Amino acid sequence: MAIANKNIIFVAGLGGIGFDTSREIVKSGPKNLVILDRIENPAAIAELKALNPKVTVTFYPYDVTVPVAETTKLLKTIFDKLKTVDLLINGAGILDDYQIERTIAVNFTGTVNTTTAIMSFWDKRKGGPGGVIANICSVTGFNAIYQVPVYSASKAAALSFTNSLAKLAPITGVTAYSINPGITKTPLVHKLNSWLDVEPRVAELLLEHPTQTSLECAQNFVKAIEANQNGAIWKLDLGTLEAIEWTKHWDSHI
Ligand SMILES: NC(=O)c1ccc[n+]([C@@H]2O[C@H](COP(=O)([O-])OP(=O)(O)OC[C@H]3O[C@@H](n4cnc5c(N)ncnc54)[C@H](O)[C@@H]3O)[C@@H](O)[C@H]2O)c1
Ligand SMILES: CCCCCCO
């Protein structure tokens, strides 16, 4: 998908990975970038507007843990204004294995509910135009950081959900792919709580190994958007972009 002249909704577009990716998206000249985020940062929005005055950047406060009906109401406001939306990016995530329910609510249920809400506007079975969903999951969805099992499992769940969305595309008209960053230097990764304190030094230990910058991640994120490959499982690690092959161990045959 060429980003130029498209309408994009970016949930969590102001976070560490999110804001660098928002910058790279704005540079590519979409018609509208609508940022939904729990954090409000008017200076960041102003910076995006100044980066490319041809792009209309708007912000709505949004918490992915709200009921689907509330999300649908917000999306109706956006669709009434834009008429069409080409891409939804679901990027919200927390990393704190002390917060078990909230981790699942944000990282998995929030992704599912936001996706479910936009289907009302896109589902071709209801006469919708279809659309594209990019879900930010994680390499920990492939193989866990087992000291943060709740976070890792929430990312595995989001990845599985995204893979199913892609298989359902012939029915819904909505395609999907996952964005799976490796360890990326952002506020998320500095201090984190391991499950039951099994490893108090988990962040320190992880950061002893090579990582990538959020800019490197963002630049590869845009390449994945432009590739627009339904069902792709994109690994964005150590400054590289790779579509990984998912190993099949069982087939439902339906
Ligand atoms: N940094 C990494 O190493 C890494 C690696 C793989 C995946 N990820 C994922 O990338 C995404 C961004 O992470 P980041 O590293 O930029 O961290 P970050 O903490 O800088 O950003 C997290 C973003 O999610 C938003 N968010 C959190 N809870 C929310 C809620 N309830 N409703 C709406 N938005 C909410 C925050 O406001 C922020 O914009 C997350 O999903 C994270 O799991 C990060
Ligand atoms: C430092 C731990 C960062 C882990 C985020 C992987 O999704």
The residue ranges of every structural domain in the chain are 7-244
Which residues, in sequence order, are CB contacts of 63 under 8 Å at separation 6+?
38
Alpha carbon nearest to ligand 2 atom 3, residue: 189
Alpha carbon nearest to ligand 1 atom 42, residue: 93
Tally of CA atoms within 13 A in the half-sphere of 144 that contains its CB = 15
Question: Is 151 a catalytic site residue?
Answer: yes
* Ligand nearest to the Cα of 209, by number: 2
Q: Is the ipTM of this complex over 0.95?
A: yes
CA 250–ligand 1 middle distance (angstroms): 32
User: Which residues of the chain have a pLDDT value below 70?
Assistant: none
Alpha carbon nearest to ligand 2 atom 7, residue: 138
Element (H, E) at 45: helix 42-51
Confidence (pTM)? 0.98
The strand ranges marked E within 106-187 are 131-136, 174-181, 184-185
CA 124–ligand 1 middle distance (angstroms): 30
Superfamily for domain range 7-244 = NAD(P)-binding Rossmann-like Domain (3.40.50.720)
Q: Is the CB of 181 under 6 A from ligand 1?
A: yes
* Ligand nearest to the Cα of 235, by number: 1
Phi/psi at 150 (nearest 5 deg)?
-70, -45
Ligand 1, atom nearest to 155 Cα: 43
* C-alpha to C-alpha distance for 229 and 186, rounded to whole angstroms: 27
